[in-house]
């Protein structure tokens, strides 16, 4: 049945992710009770945002597992978060202006944390702390990652460093979970890519929430034009007049080496195309794994949520991306974008990142084949939850 929102629903969408599952708890309990009358429920696997269900399932004696899309690095942070909360009290993350040490992770600057975690009074902070405490007590955690990409993080999870003074629940790295390109998608940008040389195009795509100011869009256009490289730019914006958003004459001047689409782009199909040589991404976890699965090096431009932390992992630990340096307000100059595109495409450092991505691309494929680590972890999880 449909559950109505409370009279004064949260204004922040992230809070709704936690609130809606809580409203569904009565129906969840009824459903589980009905199922348990005719079947044995061996396990309940829920998304991180569905933490409200934890009390329901555990009160019914159902082994409860979390699914976390962030991979092993993110999981290290999540499991260690209650310790961070205790260690820095009464200070706030948003006031630290310092690096925070998390087992298995590179040092994370406090302002790179999710903004909702800056201050304890925020509902997101309270939800997050409750969730991470329950994760420590759960039957196990399944996450979208693979050993070769996050080896140090996995070691920290295995040796118990992330849960000081207590047991760490079993962890199963079963990634990369990436849908394959089916090769039959038709889009004008794919036809354009067909006409471009191999490994020559920089792809810019920031997801459906990746909206920029007119000033930032103009700066991006100048940076791309000055880089001298071919580009495919997925530009989603509410303004229907594309020409007015970009520098005068930009589209005409770059028509031989650039393609701008003011709409959604078929990201997997683009990343799997032979013409694509680099990916300017908002550092969402799915985008990272898609790029690695198709062997495309990245330039990290985080916009919201956990993406700033993801960039730290991508650049400092995984070494599969170059960072874009932004101002305090997040603004990126044309010169910075031009510099990073040239660095990825033309420099020794860019070749290092490209070679590293090639290594991870091969490792990702091996992880889900035959005796691969991720396939083995999935089999181990299934065997454990179905045992008598």
Indicate the CATH number for domain 1-175+370-388.
Answer: 3.40.50.2000
Indicate the CATH number for domain 188-366.
Answer: 3.40.50.2000
- Does the structure show a pLDDT above 60 at 11? no
Q: Could you give the 3-state DSSP secondary structure of residue 280?
A: strand
* Distant-in-sequence, close-in-space partners of 47: CB < 8 Å, separation ≥ 6: 66, 67
Query: With the CA atoms of 217, 221, 223 and 224 taken in that order, what torsion angle do they form, in degrees rounded to the nearest 10?
Result: 130
Per-residue confidence (pLDDT) for residue 186, from 0 to 100: 85
Per-residue confidence (pLDDT) for residue 328, from 0 to 100: 87
Which range, of 53-67, 112-126, 174-188, 337-351, averages the lowest pLDDT? 174-188
When pLDDT is averaged across residues 12-37 and rounded to a whole number, the result is 88
Q: Which of 144, 136, 284 is nearest to 153 (CA)?
A: 144
Q: Given phi > 0 = left and psi -120 to 50 = alpha, else beta, which region is 4?
A: beta
Strand (E) positions, the chain?
A: 44-47, 64-68, 99-100, 108-109, 140-143, 171-173, 201-205, 230-234, 258-261, 276-281, 298-300, 321-323
Query: Which band of pLDDT confidence, cut at 50, 70 and 90, is reported for residue 8?
Result: low
For the record, the structure tokens of 372 come out as 């691969």
* Distant-in-sequence, close-in-space partners of 328: CB < 8 Å, separation ≥ 6: none
Helix, strand, coil in percent for the chain, rounding step 5: 50, 10, 40
- Say how far apart CA 106 and CA 119 lie, in whole Å: 22
Q: Is the peptide bond before 131 cis (omega within 30 degrees of 0)?
A: no
- Say how far apart CA 11 and CA 15 lie, in whole Å: 8
Q: Per residue in 228-245, is it b (16+ CB within 10 Å) or e — as a string? A: ebbbbbbbbbeeeeeeeb
DSSP state of 317: I
Per-residue confidence (pLDDT) for residue 310, from 0 to 100: 97
For the record, the structure tokens of 52 come out as 């409200």
- pTM of the model as a whole: 0.93
Is 217 within 8 Å of 246 (Cβ atoms)? Answer: yes
363 phi and psi angles, rounded to 5 deg: -65, -35
When pLDDT is averaged across residues 14-41 and rounded to a whole number, the result is 91
User: Where exactly does CATH 3.40.50.2000 map onto the chain?
Assistant: 1-175+370-388, 188-366
When pLDDT is averaged across residues 90-119 and rounded to a whole number, the result is 96
- Say how far apart CA 279 and CA 297 lie, in whole Å: 6
Edge-first strand order for the sheet with 171-173 is 44-47, 64-68, 140-143, 171-173
Strand partners, 12: none
Question: Using one digit for the tens of pLDDT, what is the confidence trace for 278-302?
Answer: 999 999 999 999 999 999 999 999 9
Q: Which of 313, 283, 278 is nearest to 149 (CA)?
A: 313
For the record, the structure tokens of 338 come out as 């031009």
Per-residue confidence (pLDDT) for residue 17, from 0 to 100: 78
When pLDDT is averaged across residues 59-68 and rounded to a whole number, the result is 98
Question: Using one digit for the tens of pLDDT, what is the confidence trace for 144-164?
Answer: 999 999 999 999 999 999 999
Question: Using one digit for the tens of pLDDT, what is the confidence trace for 127-138?
Answer: 999 999 999 999
Question: Using one digit for the tens of pLDDT, what is the confidence trace for 336-350?
Answer: 999 999 999 999 999
Per-residue confidence (pLDDT) for residue 1, from 0 to 100: 62
Q: Give the mean pLDDT of the chain.
A: 94
Per-residue confidence (pLDDT) for residue 5, from 0 to 100: 62
Q: Could you give the 3-state DSSP secondary structure of residue 46?
A: strand
Question: Using one digit for the tens of pLDDT, what is the confidence trace for 252-274?
Answer: 999 999 999 988 899 999 999 99
For the record, the structure tokens of 267 come out as 């990201």
Is 47 within 8 Å of 17 (Cβ atoms)? Answer: no
Q: Is the peptide bond before 90 cis (omega within 30 degrees of 0)?
A: yes
* Distant-in-sequence, close-in-space partners of 379: CB < 8 Å, separation ≥ 6: none
Per-residue confidence (pLDDT) for residue 311, from 0 to 100: 98
């Amino acid at each position: 049945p449909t559950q109505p929102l409370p009279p004064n629903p949260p204004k922040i969408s992230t809070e709704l992710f936690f609130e809606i599952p809580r409203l569904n708890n009565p129906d969840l309990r009824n459903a589980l009770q009905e199922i348990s009358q005719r079947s044995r429920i061996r396990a309940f696997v829920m998304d991180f945002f569905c933490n409200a269900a934890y009390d329901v399932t555990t009160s019914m004696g159902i082994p409860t597992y979390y699914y976390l899309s962030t991979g092993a690095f993110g999981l290290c942070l999540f499991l260690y978060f209650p310790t961070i909360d205790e260690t820095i009290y009464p200070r706030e993350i948003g006031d630290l202006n310092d690096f925070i040490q998390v087992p298995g992770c590179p040092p994370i600057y406090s302002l790179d944390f999710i903004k909702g975690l800056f201050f304890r009074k925020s509902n997101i902070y309270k939800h997050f702390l409750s969730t991470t405490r329950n994760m420590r007590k759960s039957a196990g955690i399944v996450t979208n990652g693979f050993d070769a990409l996050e080896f140090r993080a996995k070691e920290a999870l295995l040796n118990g460093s992330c849960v000081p003074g207590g047991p760490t629940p079993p962890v199963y790295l079963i990634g990369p979970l990436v849908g394959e390109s089916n090769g039959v998608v038709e889009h004008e940008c794919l036809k354009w890519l067909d006409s471009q040389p191999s490994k020559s195009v920089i792809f810019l795509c920031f997801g459906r929430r990746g909206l920029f100011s007119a000033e930032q869009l103009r700066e991006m256009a100048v940076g791309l034009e000055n880089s001298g490289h071919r580009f495919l730019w997925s530009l989603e914006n509410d303004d229907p007049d594309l020409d007015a958003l970009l520098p005068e004459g930009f589209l005409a001047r770059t028509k031989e080496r650039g393609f701008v689409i003011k709409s959604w782009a078929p990201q997997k199909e683009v990343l799997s195309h032979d013409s694509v040589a680099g990916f300017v991404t908002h550092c969402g976890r799915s985008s990272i794994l898609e790029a690695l699965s198709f062997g495309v090096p990245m330039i990290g431009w985080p916009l919201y949520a956990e993406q700033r932390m993801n960039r730290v992992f991508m650049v400092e630990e995984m070494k599969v991306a170059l960072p874009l340096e932004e101002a305090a307000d997040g603004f990126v100059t044309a010169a910075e974008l031009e510099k990073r595109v040239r660095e990825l495409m033309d420099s020794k450092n860019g070749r290092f990142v490209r070679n590293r991505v090639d290594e991870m691309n091969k490792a990702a494929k091996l992880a889900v084949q035959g005796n691969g680590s991720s396939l083995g972890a999935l089999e181990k999880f299934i065997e454990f939850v179905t045992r008598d």
